[in-house]
Chain A
């Protein structure tokens, strides 16, 4: 029940924020803050006593009927992976409310309604163990995000919001077709027509069909992740969205794609995934290198940060298709580390834009003198983004590369070039914005206390994850092993009865 409460708190909080927005612009902010804070505390309390839940498949499992005519249930379940992602969701959600405190001045109530409903959709995606419910939440987060970009975005917001909506909706529908096909195949095999994840695991089907259905799921997840030929919506959406929107997009929404790969694609279609693995790794590497190259070529600071996401998510793709524990631990770390470091960079860009009203790199330079604190923050997050040892991203990328080295040496070598490229574009940020000559003389204030709290908490997390990643690794371990078991099952089968 607590899992359902987590979502309901956000939904009702959103409605309350919208209604109170009529009378006051402070109340919606406070309501949203409290709603997310309650969720964060609830999840933290689960995190702290997770040992007590025993070692069953799920830490918490909640199931009740929703539309029994179709075999749809309200099945929410929590394991280590979803727990970590929920913590991340509520942490970044809280920061999103804080960073919008001054940035959003119009239609405050509706803004916070959208934020809370996006978070509810994302939390639902991380918790759903019924494929219909999963798709429901998957779509639910689109509409408020579309409003967020379309109403509070920058100059080119309408175009960006259409593109975002159409890309995700089209790819989501392909996944939906696959879900339905899976439902009927399972139903015909066993006589039980259900969308339940647990039941659908291990559905037997012929290899070509499994591959086709997997492609449907991949379409949705690779668009969200995003992987290179499908990444086109991302730079526009990230650039045009308000800061809170960019943080949620980069920090959370992209992660639903990564989560989908780990939770659904691999366990539901293990054999097809193994067949797809070489292509998947190549796509990952292309993403890493191409994203980095494009990031380097940007003059719009926000667009630059957006492209670094493409590059970093390539590592996730690479790791997912390496199929071993170390790589998977790396993927989980990368999901969290990227959310923190890129989210932080977007927040910095937002703070800069609030002060100088531009995102053009050529107009910046030498800002360190006026804003040393902001400069220092920028330096730390840029270092995190390039994978400096001691910071979170290093742990993640190191684990992924170590893992993939055992699977495919060539790909690992190529991916490592991405680290060098990351160094170049990250240092370019610092160089162009904070150091060097002043292109224009800006008069600007350094970070306020609220902004210092936001950035400071992110710095603490980046260091904590970089120096003591063990708690995260421990929490994720059971889920990682569970996912890998389905792959090992395949290789055992292949060894015992080889396909002629």
Chain B
């Protein structure tokens, strides 16, 4: 490893070093505010260090990691989203009875896993990153263990995620058996040589898709999503919906493009089926839900279905569309879950539709951000969700993926119905229920999200060129 390799690792090392320091601090004295402030600082420094290493990229660190513009872009997205989630978490955990400082430590480890995922160029690092992320999530999901669904959700995630990891490993093993390499880039050359078996490779890829499909909550691997979304503390749910899914999707994009999956009819068939199933099942099951977290869980299943379409586009615009969609989905989810976090009180999460009746008349500003997020999820103009969906449909039509595009359109209409249900609740006559006060940090997050949603929805040109610059795989 040369000094410049170390330079490239700076952001990762900051994120890895922070939890160690935090643990040491806790060993001396427990102070929630100090740990919180430290987390904010560490995330901010890690984000700034990304600019610092820009001149050094692209660099490969042995065959394990690749730090290129693509991974830097996603690192930035992950760190920013984690920063915002940290801001949201402070008030939420403030009244937690037992230890709350460790929460931030685990959050850092999860983010470290995500950073490794987006820089992975090898099955080893892929698995390392994914496990680091998953294991942190087991703990985070069950963090408020005195609550009703908390342990249930944690155990559910633990068991299912372990099984899916096993599938993933087995799949990797089969691919390794066939190609003799763990590197993404070596797979395609191996395919062109004569002595490989299509069945092995195909089975291997299929098993890997089971593992990844679980992490992304694609149908039919989606069963855990609503329960975990509901049972986990809201900031953790936010984390799963934004950082975890974004990082796994970034990895899948890189992997799928490295193995040129969009040229293989078998892979195309698998992805098409998963995408269409996820869209329809996600949206149809969301229709009758009464719990907002569950609605958003099903909506996230459908959204991952939309995102899969970009895999099959098969050229650079597909990657651009995917990145735009991921960013827009992350901002939007931060808005929606952020509002739920801020409205949750000491005892209960504000996850029932009744909690939101008349919110617009009681807390106009919070309700506006929520409305914007929901309209963005539904893909209505003026919001970033519209441009994101437009981008997928646009590139999809260009590549002739009519079946997928038309099911996306049909699903947008189905989805609109349950988003409207929530919006209608927001604007219905107010009830007498008291709402907890919203902190300054909460207002800050909502402000950032609102500006992001509208800005990317009205004037996306700047961000589009940024993506075009940063998405070289």
Looking at the complex, which one of A69, A107, A162 makes contact with B420 (CB distance below 8 Å)?
A: A162
Q: Which of B92-100, B340-348, B408-416 contacts A (4 or more CB under 8 A)?
A: B408-416
Contact B397 A162 (CB under 8 A): no
Looking at the complex, which one of A136, A158, A170, A177 makes contact with B381 (CB distance below 8 Å)?
A: A136
**Does A161 count as interface, using CB distance less than 8 angstroms?**
yes
**Does B31 count as interface, using CB distance less than 8 angstroms?**
no
Looking at the complex, which one of B382, B406, B417, B427 makes contact with A177 (CB distance below 8 Å)?
A: B406
7 contacts between A and B (CB under 8 A): A139-B386, A166-B413, A166-B420, A176-B393, A177-B405, A177-B406, A180-B397
**A177-B406, A181-B397 are contacts. A143–B413 as well, Cβ < 8 Å?**
no
Contact B416 A165 (CB under 8 A): yes
**Does B465 count as interface, using CB distance less than 8 angstroms?**
yes
Q: Is the interface of B mostly helix, strand, loop or mixed?
A: helix
**A70-B394, A136-B381 are contacts. A173–B424 as well, Cβ < 8 Å?**
no
Interface string of B377-398 (1 = CB under 8 A from A): 0001110001000000110011
Contact B380 A184 (CB under 8 A): no
Contact A177 B461 (CB under 8 A): no
Interface string of A123-149 (1 = CB under 8 A from B): 000000000000110011011001100
**Does B460 count as interface, using CB distance less than 8 angstroms?**
yes
Residues of chain B from 358 to 373 with CB closer than 8 A to chain A in the complex = 361
Contact A69 B406 (CB under 8 A): no
**A69-B465, A177-B393 are contacts. A166–B416 as well, Cβ < 8 Å?**
yes
Docked pose: A65 CA to B468 CA in angstroms: 18
3 tightest A-B contacts by CB?
Answer: A139-B381, A170-B413, A69-B464
Contact A165 B461 (CB under 8 A): no
Docked pose: A68 CA to B380 CA in angstroms: 21
Docked pose: A66 CA to B390 CA in angstroms: 15
Q: How far is the CB of B71 from chain A (nearest CB, A)?
A: 23
**Does A61 count as interface, using CB distance less than 8 angstroms?**
no
Q: Is the interface of A mostly helix, strand, loop or mixed?
A: helix
CB neighbours of B409 from chain A (8 A): 173-174, 176-177
**Does A151 count as interface, using CB distance less than 8 angstroms?**
yes
CB neighbours of B406 from chain A (8 A): 177
**A162-B420, A177-B409 are contacts. A184–B381 as well, Cβ < 8 Å?**
no
Interface residues on B, range: 20 to 34
Contact B397 A165 (CB under 8 A): no
**Does A319 count as interface, using CB distance less than 8 angstroms?**
no
| In the complex, residue of chain A having the shortest beta-carbon distance to the beta carbon of B421 | A162
Contact A180 B394 (CB under 8 A): yes
**A69-B461, A136-B381 are contacts. A184–B417 as well, Cβ < 8 Å?**
no
Contact A173 B413 (CB under 8 A): yes
**A67-B464, A177-B409, A184-B397 are contacts. A161–B417 as well, Cβ < 8 Å?**
no
Which among A69, A150, A161 has the highest number of chain B CB atoms within 10 Å?
A69
Docked pose: A173 CA to B380 CA in angstroms: 11
Contact B381 A165 (CB under 8 A): no
Interface string of A474-496 (1 = CB under 8 A from B): 00000000000000000000000
| In the complex, residue of chain A having the shortest beta-carbon distance to the beta carbon of B468 | A69
**Does B109 count as interface, using CB distance less than 8 angstroms?**
no
Docked pose: A151 CA to B428 CA in angstroms: 7
**A165-B416, A173-B413 are contacts. A158–B424 as well, Cβ < 8 Å?**
yes
Residues of chain B from 401 to 439 with CB closer than 8 A to chain A in the complex = 405-406, 409, 412-413, 416-417, 420, 424, 427
| In the complex, residue of chain A having the shortest beta-carbon distance to the beta carbon of B467 | A69
**Does B375 count as interface, using CB distance less than 8 angstroms?**
yes
Contact A147 B417 (CB under 8 A): no
Q: How far is the CB of B371 from chain A (nearest CB, A)?
A: 9
Docked pose: A169 CA to B386 CA in angstroms: 13
Docked pose: A158 CA to B382 CA in angstroms: 23
17 more A-B residue pairs beyond the given contacts A147-B427, A169-B412, with a C-beta to C-beta distance below 8 A? A66-B461, A70-B394, A136-B381, A139-B381, A139-B386, A140-B381, A146-B420, A162-B420, A166-B413, A166-B416, A170-B413, A173-B409, A173-B412, A176-B393, A177-B397, A180-B394, A184-B397
| In the complex, residue of chain B having the shortest beta-carbon distance to the beta carbon of A138 | B381
Q: How far is the CB of A185 from chain B (nearest CB, A)?
A: 10
Q: How far is the CB of A45 from chain B (nearest CB, A)?
A: 29
CB neighbours of B416 from chain A (8 A): 165-166, 169
Docked pose: A68 CA to B462 CA in angstroms: 10
Docked pose: A135 CA to B409 CA in angstroms: 15
Using CB atoms and an 8 Å cutoff, list the residues of chain B in contact with chain A.
Answer: 361, 375, 380-382, 386, 393-394, 397-398, 405-406, 409, 412-413, 416-417, 420, 424, 427, 460-461, 464-465, 468
Contact B424 A143 (CB under 8 A): no
Interface string of A31-49 (1 = CB under 8 A from B): 0000000000000000000
CB neighbours of A162 from chain B (8 A): 417, 420, 424
CB neighbours of A173 from chain B (8 A): 409, 412-413
Interface string of A155-196 (1 = CB under 8 A from B): 000100110011001100110110011001000000000000
Docked pose: A169 CA to B419 CA in angstroms: 13
| In the complex, residue of chain A having the shortest beta-carbon distance to the beta carbon of B361 | A107
Looking at the complex, which one of B382, B412, B420, B468 makes contact with A140 (CB distance below 8 Å)?
A: B382
CB neighbours of B398 from chain A (8 A): 184
**A69-B465, A173-B412 are contacts. A142–B380 as well, Cβ < 8 Å?**
yes
CB neighbours of A107 from chain B (8 A): 361
CB neighbours of B424 from chain A (8 A): 150, 158, 161-162
CB neighbours of B412 from chain A (8 A): 169, 173
Docked pose: A150 CA to B425 CA in angstroms: 10
Docked pose: A170 CA to B394 CA in angstroms: 17
CB neighbours of A177 from chain B (8 A): 393, 397, 405-406, 409
Contact B405 A68 (CB under 8 A): no
Docked pose: A176 CA to B397 CA in angstroms: 12
Docked pose: A67 CA to B463 CA in angstroms: 11
Which among A139, A143, A176 has the highest number of chain B CB atoms within 10 Å?
A143
CB neighbours of B361 from chain A (8 A): 107
CB neighbours of B465 from chain A (8 A): 69
Q: How far is the CB of B41 from chain A (nearest CB, A)?
A: 36
Looking at the complex, which one of B382, B397, B405, B413 makes contact with A169 (CB distance below 8 Å)?
A: B413
Q: How far is the CB of A483 from chain B (nearest CB, A)?
A: 27
Contact B380 A166 (CB under 8 A): no
Contact A166 B417 (CB under 8 A): yes
| In the complex, residue of chain B having the shortest beta-carbon distance to the beta carbon of A121 | B381
| In the complex, residue of chain A having the shortest beta-carbon distance to the beta carbon of B406 | A177
Docked pose: A107 CA to B398 CA in angstroms: 46
Q: How far is the CB of A392 from chain B (nearest CB, A)?
A: 34
Which among A135, A147, A173, A180 has the highest number of chain B CB atoms within 10 Å?
A173
Q: How far is the CB of A168 from chain B (nearest CB, A)?
A: 10
Q: How far is the CB of A288 from chain B (nearest CB, A)?
A: 30
Contact A180 B417 (CB under 8 A): no
CB neighbours of A140 from chain B (8 A): 381-382
CB neighbours of A170 from chain B (8 A): 413
CB neighbours of B468 from chain A (8 A): 69
Q: How far is the CB of A1 from chain B (nearest CB, A)?
A: 18
Looking at the complex, which one of A67, A147, A169 makes contact with B461 (CB distance below 8 Å)?
A: A67
CB neighbours of A181 from chain B (8 A): 397
CB neighbours of A150 from chain B (8 A): 424, 427
Looking at the complex, which one of B386, B393, B420, B460 makes contact with A180 (CB distance below 8 Å)?
A: B393
Docked pose: A170 CA to B397 CA in angstroms: 18
